[in-house]
């Protein structure tokens, strides 16, 4: 299977998960103020992968892997440590980071919000506050003005509905709320936030701007017609509910795909194999079905995350090849898939799970100065990236 010559081959990371010592955000506060009354997070992020200081080493790994692009995020809490006060040192740091990537021949796909919020914003109510979309757009414009020259592509918000669900429905992430209404308000504000930020960014740069959506496919059993109806409703809520209101303000769609859910007698009941280390069902053709469903938007699509927790590296190469088989099938149907970013370049901080899930093509040894060691799948993916061919 041969991919287009201009296809984007990359890996993805995020700031809080890799940089370390992100002390001015809501997640850091939640991690360090654990009082014994809750089990999560399993551990604090601490120095994470120290990528704030070791980004050149990380970009060298990207080049060694024959990537032609890298996806990463900037940290709002560093850039605007206090409301209305922008830290030029932080902006200069990110300018150096992005320039360094470009100098190594890597196109930069830069995310402006990847789950974390400045502490001052969280104290205002975060994304529940109807002022937050405007505040986010101000931050986005400032960042685009300062960094746009070194951003090849910009995404406003990463997985807004995952953030809303984990923080305001399941209560797993800070601020640990459990309310369908609050979850809905957050999603509405994130829709507004994206649309406002898109217009502000476009006022200062002509770089393409999109949003990154995690979309799971929903299968249904043949037990009842209700299973089919439930699957269709859940898929709509998981995709078009957010995408339709922002569709006029998108130059592309970023798709994160990890798994499919199967509805059996109105409950999610997934097969036990194959699964990754987190127990997520690995279903390859779900990616193809999601891509087909996105064709109606007639927009370029980048797969901005796709990966698995696999500490033994026993499934990763097969996973990549089979997922890319689905991408190739979508391309053959005229779906405008322009690139693939594997999650992740490095083993990193997997949010409330801590460091034990290993998503990296590169192992990070937490007992030995965060030493980076490419896994076998690293070299297998490097061969695909080099030739643009999946065998």
Q: Assess if residue 3 is contained within a domain.
A: no
Q: What is the pLDDT along the chain (391 residues), one digit of tens a residue?
A: 999 999 999 999 999 999 999 999 999 999 999 877 899 999 999 999 999 999 999 999 999 999 999 999 999 999 999 999 999 999 999 999 999 999 999 999 999 999 999 999 999 999 999 999 999 999 999 999 999 999 999 999 999 999 999 999 999 999 999 999 999 999 999 999 999 999 999 999 999 999 999 999 999 987 789 999 999 999 999 999 999 999 999 999 999 999 999 999 999 999 999 999 999 999 999 999 999 999 999 999 999 999 999 999 999 999 999 999 999 999 999 999 999 999 999 999 999 999 999 999 999 999 999 999 999 999 999 999 999 999 9
Domain count, the chain: 1
Q: Assess if residue 109 is contained within a domain.
A: yes
SS3 category, 109: strand
Residue 192: CB partners within 8 Å, gap ≥ 6? Answer: 133
Q: Assess if residue 1 is contained within a domain.
A: no
> Which of 136, 150, 111 has its CA nearest to residue 302?
111
Q: How far is CA 6 from CA 102, 198, 292, in A?
A: 17, 26, 21
pLDDT digits (tens, 9 = 90+) for 231-258: 999 999 999 999 999 999 999 999 999 9
368 burial class (0-12, 13-18, 19+ CB within 10 angstroms)? exposed
- What is the CATH classification number for the domain harbouring 201? 3.20.20.80
Structural domain boundaries, residue 180: 8-387
Task: With residue 261 as reference, give the H or E element that holds it.
Answer: strand 260-264
Strand partners, 256: 214, 305
Residue 310: CB partners within 8 Å, gap ≥ 6? Answer: 276, 277, 316, 319, 358, 359
Q: Where are the alpha helices (DSSP H) in 170-302?
A: 180-202, 225-238, 240-246, 285-294
Phi, psi (deg, nearest 5) at residue 54: -110, 25
**What local confidence, expressed as pLDDT, does residue 37 receive?**
81
**What local confidence, expressed as pLDDT, does residue 371 receive?**
98
Give DSSP secondary structure letters for 29-88: HHHHT--SS---SSS--TTTT-HHHHHHHHHHHHHHTT-SEEEEE--HHHH-SBTTB--H
Q: Assess if residue 97 is contained within a domain.
A: yes
Q: Assess if residue 2 is contained within a domain.
A: no
C-alpha Rg value of the chain to the nearest Å: 20
**What local confidence, expressed as pLDDT, does residue 281 receive?**
97
């Amino acid at each position: 299977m041969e991919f287009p010559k201009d296809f984007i081959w990359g890996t993805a990371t995020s700031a809080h998960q890799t940089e370390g010592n992100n002390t001015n955000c809501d997640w850091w506060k939640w991690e360090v103020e654990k009082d014994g009354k809750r089990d999560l997070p399993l551990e604090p992020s601490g120095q994470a992968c120290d990528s704030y200081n070791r980004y050149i080493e990380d970009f060298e790994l990207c080049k060694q892997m024959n990537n032609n692009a890298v996806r990463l995020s900037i940290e709002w809490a560093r850039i605007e440590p206090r409301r209305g006060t922008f830290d030029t040192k932080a902006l200069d740091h990110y300018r150096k980071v992005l320039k360094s990537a470009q100098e190594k021949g890597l196109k930069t796909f830069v995310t402006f919000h990847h789950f974390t919020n400045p502490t001052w914003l969280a104290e205002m109510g975060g994304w529940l506050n109807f002022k937050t979309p405007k505040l986010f757009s101000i931050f986005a414009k400032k960042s685009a003005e300062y960094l746009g020259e070194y951003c090849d592509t910009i995404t406003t918000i990463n997985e807004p509905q995952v953030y809303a669900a984990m923080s305001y429905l399941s209560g797993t992430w800070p601020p640990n709320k459990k309310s369908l209404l609050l979850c809905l308000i957050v999603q509405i504000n994130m829709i507004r936030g994206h649309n406002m930020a898109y217009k502000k960014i476009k006022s200062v740069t002509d770089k393409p701007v999109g949003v990154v959506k995690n979309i799971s496919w929903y299968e249904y059993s043949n037990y009842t017609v209700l299973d089919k109806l439930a699957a269709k409703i859940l898929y709509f809520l998981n995709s078009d509910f957010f995408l339709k209101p922002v569709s006029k303000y998108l130059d592309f769609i970023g798709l994160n795909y990890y798994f499919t859910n199967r509805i059996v007698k109105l409950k999610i009941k997934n097969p036990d194999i194959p699964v990754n280390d987190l127990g997520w069902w690995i279903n390859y053709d779900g990616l193809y079905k999601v891509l087909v469903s996105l064709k109606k938007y007639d927009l370029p699509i980048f797969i901005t995350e796709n990966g698995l927790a696999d500490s033994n590296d026993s499934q990763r190469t097969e996973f990549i090849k089979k997922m890319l088989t689905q991408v190739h099938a979508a391309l053959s149907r005229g779906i405008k898939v322009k690139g693939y970013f594997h999650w992740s370049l490095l083993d990193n901080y997997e949010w409330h799970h801590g460091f034990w899930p290993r998503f990296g093509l590169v192992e990070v040894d937490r007992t030995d100065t965060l030493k980076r060691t490419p896994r076998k799948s690293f070299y297998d993916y490097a061969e695909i990236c080099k030739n643009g061919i999946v065998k």
